[in-house]
């Protein structure tokens, strides 16, 4: 099992890559306990954990980080899909940044 502690944006990329690789579970993000995400991922595929308070106290993980659990056997497939996912998201970022001004009226509209 490979355990990633990452910001939600990185978890999004890993989750998309795992889904693309056919290595993700259908489980929602798991709240607590964090340790239950390990057997869940082992049985069902890549899983996200929000990180329970006990885990956060003992590990010191930052409040703005969550976990992604990926089976070791799936890691190569997920890593292989990650480049495509990152490229697609870079293109989508450009698209949405270009489109956004036509949908909003400045920064106040986003608040």
Task: Spell out the domain ranges in the chain.
Answer: 2-110
Q: Which of these, 61, 17, 67, lies nearest to 38 by C-alpha position? A: 67
Residue 108 has pLDDT above 90, yes or no: no
* Per-residue DSSP letter, 45: S
pLDDT for res 110: 55
Residue 111 has pLDDT above 80, yes or no: no
pTM of the full structure: 0.84
Residue 17 has pLDDT above 70, yes or no: yes
pLDDT tens-digit map of 29-59: 999 999 999 999 999 999 999 999 999 999 9
């Amino acid at each position: 099992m490979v355990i990633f502690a990452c910001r939600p944006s990185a978890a999004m990329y890993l989750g998309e890559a795992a889904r693309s690789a056919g290595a993700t579970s259908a489980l929602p993000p798991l709240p607590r306990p964090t340790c239950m995400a390990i057997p869940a991922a082992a049985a069902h595929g890549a899983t996200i954990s929000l990180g329970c308070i006990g885990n956060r106290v003992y590990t010191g993980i930052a409040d703005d980080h969550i976990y992604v659990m990926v089976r070791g056997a799936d890691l190569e497939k997920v890593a292989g899909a990650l480049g495509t996912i990152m490229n697609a998201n870079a293109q989508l970022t450009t698209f949405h940044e270009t489109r956004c001004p036509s949908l909003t009226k400045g920064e106040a509209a986003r608040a």
